[in-house]
Amino acid sequence: MMGRSDVLLVLGASFSNHTGISTKKKLIQVDYDRMTLGKFHPVDVPLWGDIGITADLLMEALANTPFKRDFIPKEIAARWGRWRAEKQSRVADSQDDGLNSAFLFQHLSDIVPENAVLAVDVGNNTYSFGRYFETKQGQDVLMSGYLGSIGFAMPASIGAWAATPDRPIIAVAGDGGFGQYPMEFTTAVKYNIPVKVILLNNSELGKISKEQRAGQWHVWQTSLVNPNFAEFAQSSGGWGKRVTDPSQLRATLAEAFAQPGPALVEVITDALKI
C-alpha cells in the first residue's frame, strides 16, 4: 500500500538501512529528534516538532478535505485475505525436518492471552513472529529492532514482569538468542517469575546462515551444539517440555501457560522454513 501511495506522512519512524521504500516516493517526516530527519532515507519535507501537536494541526487543517478513496474496506481486506490464505498453505508444509514457523505461530496466536506482553528476540524467530503471529488488541510486543541485540527476549521478559506483574509475559527466542543468557531462567525460578519461554531450536544461528546463502557464500560457523533446553528448564527448578511432533504442540503450549511459575517450551524447528 505504501508503494502505491502518492505521498507518505511518517510520524516518529526513523527508517533504517533495511527500509524498502523507493527514494522516488514523496515523503514528509515528522520527529522531535532532529538527528533522525533524513538520517537513513531522503525526505522531501522534514518537520521538526512534537508529533502529537503536529498531528492535531494536520487534522485541523484537513477537517474539511474530502477523501476521494478509502483503501481500508476493500483493498487492504483483500490483501489480508490473500496473506491469510498464503499462511494457511505454509502451515500445511512438510514438517519432517522440524516444525515450520507458520504452524507454530498460528497456534501461539490462538493461545496467547489478550493482555499479554511478548518479548521477541533477534534472528529468524523474529522474522517468523512478524510474518505469522497475529496480535490482539491489548497485547504489547517488545523487541530490540535493528539494534540486533541477540539474547534480548529472556531479560526483557523479566523486565516486563517487573513493570507489569499482573500481565501474562511471554518470551519468544531462538536457540542462539536464549543461549546468550540461559541462566536468567534460574532468576525467574528464584523469584517465581511466571514468564513463559517459547524457544525455537534449529541448532544454528539461522539468520546468519540465511545471510551467507543470500551472498552465495558457504554456510560457515553457524551450527550450535545445544543442550536439551526443556531438561535444562527442569533442572533449574522450572517447568519444561520439548515438542518434536506437530500433534504435541497445542496441548504443550496450553500446559505451559497453565503453569503458575516459569515454563519453557522447546520446539524443534526446521531451519529452512522460517
Q: Is residue 147 over pLDDT 80?
A: no
Q: What pTM, to 2 d.p., does this model score?
A: 0.82
Q: Which CATH number fits domain 94-268: 3.40.50.970, 3.40.50.10170, 3.30.390.10, 3.30.300.30?
A: 3.40.50.970
The label of the residue with cell 546468550 reads 180
* Cell numbers for 220: 560457515
**Given this model, what pLDDT does residue 74 score?**
81
The pLDDT tens digits for 185-199 are: 999 999 999 999 999
Q: What is the mean pLDDT of residues 13-41?
A: 84
Q: Is residue 53 over pLDDT 90?
A: yes
CA 164 to chain centre: 20
The label of the residue with cell 519512524 reads 13
The pLDDT tens digits for 56-96 are: 999 999 888 887 666 677 888 898 899 999 999 999 888 88
**Given this model, what pLDDT does residue 206 score?**
77
Q: What is the mean pLDDT of residues 206-220?
A: 82
Residue 169, helix vs strand vs coil: strand
**Greater pLDDT, 104 or 24:** 104
> What average pLDDT is seen over the chain?
91
Contact 137, 188 (CB under 8 A): no
Could you tell me the pLDDT band of residue 5, with boundaries at 50, 70 and 90?
confident
Q: Is residue 270 over pLDDT 90?
A: no
Contact 184, 160 (CB under 8 A): no
> What residues contact residue 161 under an 8 Å CB cut-off, 6+ apart?
169, 193, 194, 195
How would you class 34 by CB atoms within 10 Å of its CB: exposed for 0-12, middle for 13-18, buried for 19 or more? Answer: exposed
Could you tell me the pLDDT band of residue 52, with boundaries at 50, 70 and 90?
very high
| Integer CA distances (angstroms), 252 to 243, 248, 262, 265, in order | 8, 6, 14, 7
Contact 110, 132 (CB under 8 A): no
* Cell numbers for 16: 533504517
- Residue extents of the structural domains in the chain: 7-61, 94-268
**Given this model, what pLDDT does residue 17 score?**
67
Q: At residue 46, what is the residue type? A: P
End-to-end Cα, the chain, rounded Å: 24
In percent, the amount of the chain with pLDDT more than 90 equals 66
